[in-house]
Structure 1
Amino acid sequence: MNQISADRTAAIDRGLAWLLKQQAADGGWHSQAYGQLKGGAAVTSLVLELLSQFPVATAKMHEPVIERAFRFLGTGLEKKKTIAAPDGSLDFPTYGCALILTASAQLAEKIGFKFKSPQLLRDYLFGAQLLEPRGFTPDQASYGGWDFLGAGDAMGITTGTNVSVVAHILEALSLDRSAAADKARAAAKGWVARCQQPDGGFAFTPEPMSLNNKAEFADEARARPRSYGSATVDGVRCLLALGQTAENDDVKQAVAWLSKRPVLDVVPGFEDLPAETDWRRGLRFYYYSGLSAILPQLPQADRPGRQQGIEKILLKEQQADGRWQNESDRMRENDPLIATAFALSALLRNV
Structure 2
Amino acid sequence: MNRRRFLSIAAAGATLPTVAWSVESEKSRGMGEATVDQAIDWLIAHQSADGAWRSRTYSELRSGIGTTALAALALVRSWKATEPKVVSALGKGVQFLKDQFSRDDSLGVGADYPTYVAAMLIMVLIELESTSERELRERLVTQLIDRQRIGRHGYLPGDADFGGWAPGLEVKADPSAAAANISITSHVLQALRAADAITPEMRTSAETYLRRLQYNDPQSKLVGGFTYTAAFDSPLNKAGFDVATNGKRHALPYHSATCDGLLALAACDPHRQDNSFRLATSALAAMPLPRLSRAPVDVGQIDRVQGGLFFYAAAALSRLPSLTTTGHARLTVWHSLRRSQQVDGCWRNPLPWMREDDPLVATSFAIEAMSALSRPK
Using the size of structure 1 for normalisation, the TM-score is 0.87
1:100-249 aligned within 5 A: 100-108=121-129, 114-150=133-169, 154-157=172-175, 158-178=177-197, 181-198=199-216, 199-219=223-243, 223-243=249-269, 245=271, 247-249=273-275
Letter in 1 for 2:335: K
* Structure with the larger RCO, 1 or 2 (CA within 8 Å, 6+ apart): 2
Can you list the C-alpha shifts for 1:72-116, whole angstroms capped at 9, x where unaligned?
1122202233553xxx5131110001101111101117xx76454
| Alpha-carbon spacing, 1:19–1:223, altered in 2? closer, same or farther (3 Å) | same
Quote the residue 1:270 is aligned against. none
- Cα distance between partner residues in 2 of 1:135 and 1:36: 31
- Cα distance between partner residues in 1 of 2:231 and 2:271: 26
1:225-304 aligned within 5 A: 225-243=251-269, 245=271, 247-261=273-287, 263-265=289-291, 278-298=304-324, 302-303=326-327
Quote the residue 1:27 is aligned against. 51
Can you list the C-alpha shifts for 1:173-202, whole angstroms capped at 9, x where unaligned?
114445x74432221010011111121211
- Cα distance between partner residues in 1 of 2:287 and 2:250: 20
| Alpha-carbon spacing, 1:150–1:195, altered in 2? closer, same or farther (3 Å) | same
Alpha-carbon distance, 1:266 to partner: 5.6
Alpha-carbon distance, 1:223 to partner: 3.1
Give aligned-pair identity as a percent: 27
- Cα distance between partner residues in 1 of 2:334 and 2:291: 12
- Cα distance between partner residues in 1 of 2:237 and 2:104: 31
- Cα distance between partner residues in 2 of 1:128 and 1:100: 16
Structure 2 counterpart of 1:336, from 359, 363, 366:
359
| More off after superposition, 243-252 vs 324-333 | 243-252
Structure 1 counterpart of 2:329, from 306, 318, 325:
306
Secondary structure at 1:80's aligned position in 2?
A: coil
Secondary structure at 1:320's aligned position in 2?
A: coil
Alpha-carbon distance, 1:148 to partner: 1.8
| Alpha-carbon spacing, 1:251–1:245, altered in 2? closer, same or farther (3 Å) | farther
Quote the residue 1:81 is aligned against. 105
Alpha-carbon distance, 1:29 to partner: 0.6
Structure 1 counterpart of 2:117, from 92, 96, 106:
96
Quote the residue 2:341 is aligned against. 318
Can you list the C-alpha shifts for 1:265-305, whole angstroms capped at 9, x where unaligned?
369xxxxxx97783331111111111121142336xx31x2
- Cα distance between partner residues in 2 of 1:188 and 1:50: 26
| More off after superposition, 97-106 vs 64-73 | 64-73
- Cα distance between partner residues in 2 of 1:285 and 1:295: 18
- Cα distance between partner residues in 1 of 2:162 and 2:45: 42
Alpha-carbon distance, 1:134 to partner: 2.4
Quote the residue 1:271 is aligned against. none
Structure 1 counterpart of 2:78, from 33, 38, 54:
54
Report if the CA contact (8 A) 1:49-1:102 is conserved: yes
Quote the residue 2:34 is aligned against. 10
Alpha-carbon distance, 1:165 to partner: 0.5
Report if the CA contact (8 A) 1:208-1:222 is conserved: no
Letter in 2 for 1:96: V
Alpha-carbon distance, 1:207 to partner: 2.9
Gaps of 5+ in 1: 268-273
Secondary structure at 1:173's aligned position in 2?
A: helix
- Cα distance between partner residues in 2 of 1:12 and 1:315: 9
| Alpha-carbon spacing, 1:181–1:43, altered in 2? closer, same or farther (3 Å) | farther
Number of residue pairs aligned between Structure 1 and Structure 2: 335
Using the size of structure 2 for normalisation, the TM-score is 0.81
Report if the CA contact (8 A) 2:347-2:366 is conserved: yes
Report if the CA contact (8 A) 1:328-1:334 is conserved: yes
| More off after superposition, 255-264 vs 189-198 | 255-264
- Cα distance between partner residues in 1 of 2:44 and 2:106: 24
- Cα distance between partner residues in 1 of 2:272 and 2:152: 34
**Superposition CA RMSD, Å:** 2.5
Report if the CA contact (8 A) 2:54-2:63 is conserved: yes
